[in-house]
Structure 1
């Protein structure tokens, strides 16, 4: 199977022409100034969806264990709330928490977009820039610096955010194997310097898929862990064969962890409220409800507060540590399941082809929700470790490694400074101000 990679096309034609000319000129300069015509220290950002710190060191991940030993890492990385795939992937590349980047859930509606609904399975919505426009991903910062960026899958990369796609991108296709994805990335690095990206993203969903279906501690999940580790071995070997092993900064992350869900551990909303009284926007670990006009008091009276296996709040009353609830896309009422439970309706559960044995979306403080952070390359101290970081800290690190000015973000480079070589540590700077919500 051939991987269908698309070239980014700027919506503003004049901007695209000028940018192309600038890339060509800078590429020519790089070819003169850099050894062997290779741009200095490209960055490859790899996401292993739902990969947990607990998946390391169990004999399943020789490549990752080797990278952890000879590279730098955090013992754990706290995801942002809610601990879901699309919100956290966009946080990783924008530095803004979901409540600020606008991707507040895998499924969402927007009062400013009446009648429209975003869902990860809705290809038209995923490719609609309006859902992504409240933040600027790192690849557009790179392009604005006159260099190229490429994405081998990443939430947000299929839409022309702020008018442009990545220079190379691919619409997500689960049939494309991990090996094909790696080979596509290596092919980008084989290009002449003027067309070679300095930022590349690479995404693997396989652990998430297996852990949802069979549980995070299942044999199927273990097989998926082995599979993505083998793909990383292929990537590392490919870099070494090209003489790039010590000239590329490799940053490996996950978006969240995964918790086991036993069959039957469901809180049914219709046992508490009349479904006619509220639009149920989302179900699962984090349920969102929008009461019908005149029915808010009745719904709140029975929902708000602690229940046997969930807790419900008005969005403005969520615990402050979640840093969530101010965005217009967040439904007025939220119910968060206890670890190992979900919130749904009988009709929605009956419509499922398979009942999940693993879930995420829970409190980011839970050990089961923690993500991984491993980095190796010329910018990092071999064997360095920090205890824990927040995933908003990845964005300022990427900006620093790529030499681009970061946009407004919620993170800090400070927690990651012990991982950087002394000559790679920039002077402390004041945190950037957040973008206003639109």
Structure 2
């Protein structure tokens, strides 16, 4: 054997040994890296404030930001999880797409309250059918999609499901979630998804329980960043120049027991039927209490403003949908609306969201990097409806009519 050949074989052995180190699953031999449309991966880190990147706990995301696009987004109103996740993938505001809150009722679906804990309601297509998310439009246009958790993605929407999807399970670890996305990208080219979603809730959960400045939130930030690092390394190992779009649905504000507005001091028990309380109040007056409720709520309050549904300020673009209750009250950011009975029987949390989307604490993250983006772009704060047309363009999908446009994010896209 010639010396050059012997040296070449030795070098191959060294490279093979180096590849045995712990890392995300490598691409199988059948995966083709022939140039094609880069996959777009939409990642949600629930409750991640943009300023969390300043804590020195996110080396992976900070590296992406250095060479990519970084901005703060203004969530749609109300700044809750389901309304804003649905806005991100439909480009419609909650008043138009119908997911007006995490908790809702609909006269067309009598006797049912939609809530995060009501799995049957969450799986009912009637709650989601007002809008087509991007994966539905993509599948209809022949573009394969895969959803590793996203609100609404495990429900049949307008008769369509993603090509690949998983039923939401909070117990699935961040590592397993990333590895599932990478496994979908390892499928043969004809089966490989072009648009994918990935969802992490740990930061939001810690923010609620312990507050946004807590050590527990810092640990959740670091854990999620490690999952992002695993995803980035897995894409690199596969030679995939994916467009990675990392967003959050809203921010998080600190709360405390000494910043509470007691409904007991305003109305007698039984006067209201609450739909949501806490970071805002949405409610129905009980029969016979209509005049009393109106008088008690529609007046000046310390740390709170209340409106009849039709009088919610126009800047919130909210209040026309039939699922919005007749009365809506919004406290100052960090204050909560509750009752003494509720406070006595539930744990005290130290963080919340749902407040005015113009409050800095409610801002959401937008971080993007990939062949579809310019390097180092820093757009000003923009409305999160503008994410949808960007995703549609990257995925090569004809968008549905939507509330977003490309005036803010268009300049961040590569030619």
Structure-1-length-normalised TM-score: 0.86
**Aligned 1:134-149 pairs, distance under 5 A:** 134-149=130-145
C-alpha displacement of 1:53: 1.1
| 1:208-264 Cα distance to aligned partner (Å, 9 max, x none) | 0001000000000001000100100000000000001xx211100000000000123
Corresponding position of 1:191: 187
Residues 346 and 38 of structure 1: CA distance in aligned 2, closer, same or farther (over 3 Å)? farther
C-alpha displacement of 1:294: 4.1
Checking the alignment, whether the CA contact within 8 Å between 1:269 and 1:344 is kept in structure 2 is yes
Checking the alignment, whether the CA contact within 8 Å between 1:39 and 1:193 is kept in structure 2 is no
Corresponding position: 1:113 with 2:109: yes
Corresponding position of 2:87: 91
Which of 280, 284, 289 in structure 2 is aligned with 1:290?
284
Corresponding position of 1:6: none
Corresponding position of 1:51: 48
C-alpha displacement of 1:270: 2.0
Which of 327, 337, 352 in structure 1 is aligned with 2:331?
337
C-alpha displacement of 1:143: 0.2
Aligned residues: 385
Moved more, 333-342 or 201-210: 333-342
Structure-2-length-normalised TM-score: 0.90
Which of 330, 336, 358 in structure 2 is aligned with 1:365?
358
Rounded to whole Å, the distance in 2 between the matches of 1:262 and 1:233 is 34
Which of 316, 320, 323 in structure 2 is aligned with 1:326?
320
**Aligned 1:6-405 pairs, distance under 5 A:** 36-37=33-34, 39-74=36-71, 76-244=72-240, 247-352=241-346, 354-405=347-398
Which of 388, 404, 419 in structure 1 is aligned with 2:412?
419
C-alpha displacement of 1:348: 2.2
Checking the alignment, whether the CA contact within 8 Å between 2:33 and 2:239 is kept in structure 1 is no
Rounded to whole Å, the distance in 2 between the matches of 1:127 and 1:329 is 18
Give 3-state SS (helix, strand or coil) of 2:150's partner: coil
C-alpha displacement of 1:37: 4.4
Residues 158 and 35 of structure 1: CA distance in aligned 2, closer, same or farther (over 3 Å)? closer
| 1:179-232 Cα distance to aligned partner (Å, 9 max, x none) | 110000000000001211111000000100001000000000001000100100
Moved more, 325-334 or 271-280: 271-280
C-alpha displacement of 1:347: 2.2
C-alpha displacement of 1:316: 0.9
Give 3-state SS (helix, strand or coil) of 1:135's partner: coil
Q: Which runs of 5+ in 1 are unaligned?
A: 1-33, 424-438
Give 3-state SS (helix, strand or coil) of 1:397's partner: helix
| 1:18-73 Cα distance to aligned partner (Å, 9 max, x none) | xxxxxxxxxxxxxxxx9734641110000011101110132101111110011112
Rounded to whole Å, the distance in 2 between the matches of 1:417 and 1:164 is 29
Checking the alignment, whether the CA contact within 8 Å between 1:37 and 1:193 is kept in structure 2 is no
Rounded to whole Å, the distance in 2 between the matches of 1:306 and 1:59 is 43
Give 3-state SS (helix, strand or coil) of 1:378's partner: coil
Checking the alignment, whether the CA contact within 8 Å between 2:380 and 2:408 is kept in structure 1 is no
C-alpha displacement of 1:398: 0.6
Rounded to whole Å, the distance in 1 between the matches of 2:208 and 2:282 is 21
Moved more, 234-243 or 335-344: 335-344
| 1:62-86 Cα distance to aligned partner (Å, 9 max, x none) | 1111100111122x11000000001
Give RMSD over aligned pairs. 1.3
Checking the alignment, whether the CA contact within 8 Å between 2:32 and 2:189 is kept in structure 1 is no
Corresponding position of 1:431: none
Give 3-state SS (helix, strand or coil) of 2:403's partner: coil
**Structure 1: which 4+ aligned runs deviate by more than 3 Å?**
34-39
Rounded to whole Å, the distance in 1 between the matches of 2:394 and 2:221 is 28
